[in-house]
Structure 1
Amino acid sequence: MDKVDVQLLKLLQEDGRITVSDLSKQLSLSRPSVSERLLRLQERGIILEFSARVSPAKLGRETLLFIQISELKEEPHAFEEFIKHEQDILECHRVTGPISYTIKAAVSGIDGMRQLVDRLIPFGTINTSVVLGSPVPFRHLMPKDEE
């Protein structure tokens, strides 16, 4: 990646709806050149997807949770198949150490948390933390040497 690619990533992460025309103006490149760079970044797997960030709270999921699952009672693949279909789960990561999985979930209040925990209990020991605040809720990523 050159400096133009890095600047392109920065602009896209700041505004995912920016047009190719606006990108070309800000980068002082032709629209076909910008389009080619975007395609190359996608083909290389640097840009994974284009999507909208949505507020869980505005969709009735005001309670953000981090759940740790340890002492797994099922095979990992069985748990992973189950978790893929849980709509309250935003992220699920298999991790090293005494914890098997770390999950980020958004639910509708304490009752939603109880229901999710009840669905997870058969899979192992559950440790749930409710998020009180998020000083860094999301961060744009740049190449290490560009930070």
Structure 2
Amino acid sequence: MELDDLDWKLLDLLQQDGRMTFTELARRVSLSAPATTERVRRLEQAGVITGYTAVVSPQRLGLPIEAIVRVRVRSLDTPRFRERMVTLAQVLDADHVTGDDCWLLRVVCRSMVELEEFVEHAQRYGDTTTSLVFSSAARNGPVTRNVLGGIVSR
């Protein structure tokens, strides 16, 4: 889908605040509310906008331990791993990737004991490497037109 300047402006605004009203969006892009609504609906129908979500703080919910668990899953175990590990409540993100470690899991836990139990469960499917997350400098960053131009700063 070819996006024009107005589409990109709408995407920028919605990625900053997905709860922004169509009236406010329209005001910010100097377009009528019905025309803005139609553009956003078109972006949704084309699959460019795939949803709206609330960003929640796991730490504020009593989940202070965050880790990246890399798992080298044996190929025959991949379907069971997807079914039994990726669906666990502790898993925030699960990426099937190339390289030695076939899965990267971002997990949150209430305690180190819970993380240890999670890792032991993951080890049923292959070797693991676990890294604790100290902080995240960038997460859920916006997709901007700049991404299409290669490596540039935001």
TM-score, normalised on structure 2?
0.88
Q: Tell whether 2:89 aligns with 1:87.
A: yes
Residue 137 of structure 1 corresponds to 139
* TM-score for the superposition, normalised by structure 1: 0.92
Within 5 A, what are the aligned runs for 1:1-147?
1-72=3-74, 74-143=76-145, 144-145=147-148
Cα shift at 1:128: 0.4
How many corresponding residue pairs?
A: 147
Aligned-partner residue type, residue 12 of structure 1 = L
Secondary structure class of the residue paired with 1:10: helix
Post-superposition offset of 1:19? 0.5
Show structure 1 runs of 4+ deviating over 4 A.
none
- Alpha-carbon distance between aligned partners in 1 of 2:15 and 2:100, rounded to the nearest angstrom: 35
Alignment gaps of 5+ in structure 2: none
- In the TM superposition, residue 26 of structure 1 has moved relative to its aligned partner by 0.7
Q: Distance between the aligned counterparts of 2:141 and 2:99, measured in 1?
A: 26
Letter aligned with residue 95 of structure 1 = V
Residue type of the alignment partner of 2:138: V
- Alignment RMSD, CA only? 1.6
Change (3 A) 1:53 1:5: same
Identity of aligned residues (%): 27
* 1:73 positional shift: 6.8
Shift of 1:87: 0.3
